Amino acid sequence: MKKILSLLILLGALSMLTTIDLHAQAYWINKDTIYEPVFTTVSFYPTTDRLGYPIIRLRSGERLSLEFDDMTGGFKELLYTVTHCDANWMPSRLEKVEYIDGFEEERLRDFEYSIATFDEYTHYRLKWPNENMDVRVSGNYLLHVYMDNDEQTPILTRRFVVTENTFKVLATLKRTTDVRKLNTHQEFDVLVNQKDTRVVNALNEVNITILQNGRWDNAIYNLAPQSVRGEDMYFDYLDRIVFPGGKQFRYLDLRSVMFKTERVQEIQTFEDGIDIIVREDVNRRNQKYLNYPDANGRFVVGNQDRMQLDPETTSQYVLAHFTLDQRYLPDRDIYLMGLLSDWRIQPRFKMEYNPKTEKYEGAVMLKQGYYDYKYVTTEDGYTFDHSYIEGNWGETENDYIVIVYWRPFGERFDRVAVVKTFNSLDW
């Protein structure tokens, strides 16, 4: 177990050395990204809702919490800043002084060392906005955390949205236009009411983006109103606002390393760490839909073994062993997917086929907590599909987020007029 962690740290150090030139040119990726693998278990959520999405209202007093671990331990001088973006997540034309209220960059001052854990790590926290930094305007934002050195080496990037409350939104679930998707997909119409706000040319000034379960990788972008009647803007496209239903996420409860939870088959404790053997998974594509509570792909750190202490600094990192009973796929690779992987294909979440057992196997270092996940397949190592292993069902419970962007004539940035979150079971 220690060998695996040491290898992870070594790869992270090598990564820093080989990417400095790019970072010196302010090389950032405009999506949720961890640049150095020694930084892990990144959580970004509204302070009052650990499983919520990183969305707050402008000047409302609402705050976001960022938490992550540095597996090399010790203390590092880390800085953070925010960048305003347009509706497509490209840096906007605004200067920082136009959208930041306070300091343009700040030190990340809140950190603690792990307590009585096999692997020593440093836990960092940030609550934002704060007395040192806030924003003046709504919109899409990127939070950047980076090393305080000559190269300002990037550590991580996180997307978030700051919204006004200018418009109203109503979404209506409907039968899919394409009858072939009737039992597998979810389609809905959106109505946006501009209330008392004067929108001169809604067809050119307003557009919406729709997310499923907080995912940006499969979001539907830049939909203009189909029609406008009075104060109402109608987004009633046929077979356009459609998402695969998926199925409820698989789950794994790692909050205890002393007692086995439902999906833990075995706990192996060694001198230098803990291995968790997860109960075997199977292909669910042709299984009937089963409804049960899930976290829609998210995770939360938790520790039931030390309930009186802070789980962020007392939780162990365990090596979780996954097994998928799936025949060999010569033209596809299989990965674990969810917020735990930032909804991206990442090498450490790859499942390898074992010809002796005729099953796919993988081992991932995870912090104690509760995790949702799915298995996905990929042919190109970038795009992925969950339907081959998980299947789709039109009645699956999913969250949907509608973001309404408004750029009035002559304005230099995309305002976020309103954000509304719905659940497929609301209709």
pLDDT tens digit sequence for 281-301: 999 999 988 999 999 999 999
Domains and CATH numbers, the chain: 2-163 (2.60.40.10), 168-245+396-426 (2.60.40.1110), 250-378 (2.60.40)
How much is the pTM? 0.92
Note the pLDDT of residue 366: 98
pLDDT of residue 64: 98
The model's pLDDT over 190-205, given as tens digits with 9 standing for 90+, comes to 999 998 899 999 999 9
**What does the chain come to in residues?**
427
What pLDDT sits at residue 28?
83
Contacts (Cβ under 8 Å, ≥6 apart) of 352: 360, 361, 362
Neighbours of 261 (CB within 10 A): 15
Query: Mean pLDDT in each 10-residue stretch from start to end of the chain (427 residues)?
Result: 49 38 56 95 98 98 98 96 97 97 96 97 98 98 91 91 97 95 97 93 97 97 96 97 98 98 97 97 94 97 95 98 98 98 97 98 98 98 97 97 97 97 92
- Residue showing tokens 């002084």: 97
If residue 281 lies in a helix (H) or strand (E), which one and from where to where? strand 281-282
For β-strands 122-128 and 110-113, DSSP reports them as: antiparallel
Nearest Cα neighbor of 129 from 157, 166, 111, 103 is 103
CA–CA gap between residue 66 and residue 250 (Å, rounded) = 25
Q: How far is CA 237 from CA 189, 213, 224, 242, 405, in A?
A: 7, 21, 10, 10, 18
Q: Tell me if residue 191 falls in helix, strand or coil.
A: strand
Q: Given this model, what pLDDT does residue 293 score?
A: 95
pLDDT of amino acid 150:
66
pLDDT at 149: 79
The predicted pLDDT at position 1 comes to 59
Alpha-carbon distance values, 273 to 3, 12, 77, 116, 118 (Å): 10, 20, 28, 12, 6
Tokens 């009052």 sit on residue: 48
In one-letter notation, the amino acid at residue 1 is: M
Q: Judge if the upstream peptide bond of residue 244 is cis by omega within 30 degrees of 0.
A: no
404 in helix, strand or coil? Answer: strand
Is-contact 140 146, C-beta < 8 A? no
* CA 34 remoteness from chain centre: 12
Query: Which tokens sit at 238?
Result: 């046929």
Mean pLDDT of the chain: 93
